[in-house]
């Protein structure tokens, strides 16, 4: 601001400059927010009886022990009673249902709600249909917000700590420690309930050490039922008080943040999103903005994301940043398409990257008049920008590129044929893109100029034969060989060219 005031002044200059800077889309995407995470704690509802609301999660990637490599952890959110179930690898949805039947349903019946993460077992059609038929409410956590399933995550940490202390050096006996681990966990006093899960669930403490002196007889059944009811009422009060304490302490490190409503445009944090650029440190901190289409609860929102992202569109409030309005000079409509050869096409600003996707070459296109959120991968067959394509491959020669063929230059058209213009949206599949060969120069055939300079006596038909043999499958080339057209091998070809070059130098 000081630099601007050196040479300029007008009424309300400070407010205009602040508004311009705060609404800059580049600044909103790139600057780090030095503030508390937005979104106050929103606890799950307190269950009214044991095994009404349960949570489940997996501990994976464990060393083999008695044929098991995974642990299924199931926790009751009322009594905090837990079951640790060993599994042979990561089970499927049907295998997970069988484990629930054998270890949970036979002991506690059906729950009303199940809290889990977004694992493939709990998002499959089989699992959703099974829960719908059984009348179980599925509560999946939002993307990159494990605090929703925090009860099971904390239990996982306790179990891993126990196993870490008692496992042998080879770490292959953890499966035999699970029964004692489960008993030790369920026999310990919980900070939230002030009782052990055993006592909260059954109304008595299990026999741990043999009694020294028998002091009393077994109480009457009516007294036992009254005591159990009183214990569960006390647990309900203790859980509500514990949640209030958790919320009060958690909100000290959070803030409500600006209000977000349906229809607003927000930026999405890239903290948990994969980066396709060379250095993540220099990549944008936020992407977007994207419109909000639904608010699922006070701190969870659903966004309208491009189909190319292929991620779950529900996010916690801490990952969202409201777009601070629109800059005055950016309030312009998107440019209309250009009519080329009877078809509507959009102008290409630049080609940013290339890749092979499902055996087809694609380019990352930056469109004229559209923001970074509209960049898209398009098939090479639909890109009508030979000058931009040529410049991209000259600047980045190591990036994936189309193979050169014997029919002339690959990018021979000029601006008069519709350069930098192409269809915007889903494109037809490319027909002449081949699979890259990572072992042999990224799968690219030698360019036409290299072939002409190295073998001046080869005819056009010979070049076509070489290109055809390179594209054929190895099985076809081996089962149907022809003596007049041997299989074209790149290593042999390059070795032959090096020997010819060395011989020409000596001569």
* HSE toward the beta carbon, residue 238, CA cutoff 13 A: 19
Residue 359 parent element (H or E):
none
Query: In DSSP terms, which residues pair with 1 in a beta bridge?
Result: none
Query: What's residue 195's pLDDT?
Result: 84
**0.85 surpassed by pTM:** no
Give me the phi and psi of 370, to 5 degrees please.
Answer: -115, 150
What is d(CA 317, CA 315) in angstroms, rounded to the nearest whole number?
7
Q: Of the candidates 472, 471, 382, which has an alpha carbon nearest to the alpha carbon of residue 429?
A: 382
448 pLDDT exceeds 80? no
Report whether the peptide linkage leading into residue 289 is cis, meaning its omega lies within 30 degrees of zero. yes
397-422: average pLDDT: 57
Q: How would residue 460 be classed by pLDDT, with cut points 50, 70 and 90?
A: very low
Which range of 103-112, 472-481, 493-502 scores highest in mean pLDDT? It is 103-112
Any idea what the Cα angle at residue 502 is, between residues 500 and 505, rounded to 5°?
110
pLDDT tens for 298-330 read 888 999 888 777 788 888 888 888 887 655 555
What is d(CA 31, CA 25) in angstroms, rounded to the nearest whole number?
10
Query: What's residue 278's pLDDT?
Result: 74
278-305: average pLDDT: 83
200 pLDDT exceeds 60? yes
Q: What six digits make up the tokens of 303?
A: 């966004």
68-95: average pLDDT: 91
Q: Of the candidates 118, 111, 64, which has an alpha carbon nearest to the alpha carbon of residue 88?
A: 64
433 pLDDT exceeds 60? no
User: Which comes out higher in pLDDT, residue 436 or 353?
Assistant: 353
The answer to which of 244-248, 307-311, 375-379 has the lowest mean pLDDT is 244-248
Alpha carbon 225 to chain centroid distance? 49
User: Which comes out higher in pLDDT, residue 188 or 363?
Assistant: 363
User: Which comes out higher in pLDDT, residue 177 or 507?
Assistant: 177
SS3 call for 55:
strand
The whole-chain average pLDDT of the chain stands at 74
List of residues 6+ apart from 28 with CB closer than 8 A: 267, 286, 321, 323, 324
Q: How would residue 39 be classed by pLDDT, with cut points 50, 70 and 90?
A: confident
The answer to which of 118-132, 205-219, 411-425 has the lowest mean pLDDT is 411-425
Query: What's residue 86's pLDDT?
Result: 93
The answer to which of 18-32, 124-138, 375-389 has the lowest mean pLDDT is 18-32
């Amino acid at each position: 601001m000081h630099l601007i005031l050196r040479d300029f002044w007008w009424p309300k200059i400070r407010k205009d400059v602040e508004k311009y800077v705060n609404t800059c889309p580049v600044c909103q995407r790139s600057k780090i927010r030095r503030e508390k995470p937005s979104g106050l704690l929103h606890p799950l509802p307190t269950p009214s009886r044991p095994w009404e609301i349960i949570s489940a999660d997996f501990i994976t990637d464990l060393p083999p022990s008695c044929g098991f490599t995974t642990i299924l952890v199931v926790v009751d959110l009322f009594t905090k009673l837990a079951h640790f179930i060993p599994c042979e690898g990561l089970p499927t949805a049907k295998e997970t249902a069988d484990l629930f039947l054998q270890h949970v349903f036979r002991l506690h019946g059906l729950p009303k709600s199940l809290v889990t993460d977004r694992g493939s077992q709990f998002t499959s059609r089989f699992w959703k249909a099974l829960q719908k038929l059984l009348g179980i409410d599925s509560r999946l956590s939002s993307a990159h917000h494990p605090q929703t399933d925090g009860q099971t995550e904390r239990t996982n940490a306790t179990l891993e700590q126990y196993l870490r202390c008692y496992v042998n050096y080879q770490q292959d006996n953890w499966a035999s420690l699970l029964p004692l681990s489960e008993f030790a966990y369920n026999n310990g006093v919980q900070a939230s309930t002030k009782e052990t899960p055993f006592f909260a669930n059954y109304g008595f403490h299990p026999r741990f050490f043999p009694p020294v002196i028998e002091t009393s007889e077994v109480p009457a059944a009516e007294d036992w039922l009254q005591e159990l009811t009183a214990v569960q009422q006390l647990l309900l009060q203790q859980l509500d008080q514990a949640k209030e304490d958790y919320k009060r302490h958690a909100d000290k490190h959070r803030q409500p943040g600006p209000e977000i409503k349906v229809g607003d445009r927000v930026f999405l944090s890239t903290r948990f999103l994969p980066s396709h650029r060379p250095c993540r440190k220099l990549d944008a901190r936020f992407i977007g903005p994207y419109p909000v289409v639904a608010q699922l609860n006070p701190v969870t929102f659903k966004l309208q994301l491009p189909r190319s992202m292929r991620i779950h569109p529900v996010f916690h409030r801490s990952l969202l940043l409201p777009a601070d309005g629109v800059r005055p000079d950016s309030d312009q409509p998107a440019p209309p398409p250009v009519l080329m050869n009877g078809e509507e096409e959009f102008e290409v600003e630049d080609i940013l990257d290339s890749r092979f996707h499902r055996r087809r070459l694609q380019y990352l296109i930056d469109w004229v008049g559209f923001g970074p959120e509209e960049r898209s991968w398009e098939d090479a067959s639909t890109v009508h920008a030979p000058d931009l394509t040529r410049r991209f491959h000259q600047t980045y020669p190591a990036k994936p590129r189309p193979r050169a063929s014997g029919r002339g230059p690959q990018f021979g058209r000029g601006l008069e044929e519709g350069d930098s213009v192409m269809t915007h949206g889903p494109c037809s599949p490319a027909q002449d893109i081949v699979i890259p060969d990572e072992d042999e120069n990224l799968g690219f055939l030698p360019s036409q100029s290299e072939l002409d300079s190295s073998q001046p006596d080869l005819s056009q038909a010979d070049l076509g034969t070489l290109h055809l043999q390179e594209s054929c499958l190895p099985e076809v080339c081996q089962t149907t060989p022809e003596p007049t057209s041997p299989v074209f091998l790149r290593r042999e070809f390059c070795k032959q060219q090096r020997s010819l070059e060395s011989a020409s130098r000596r001569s």
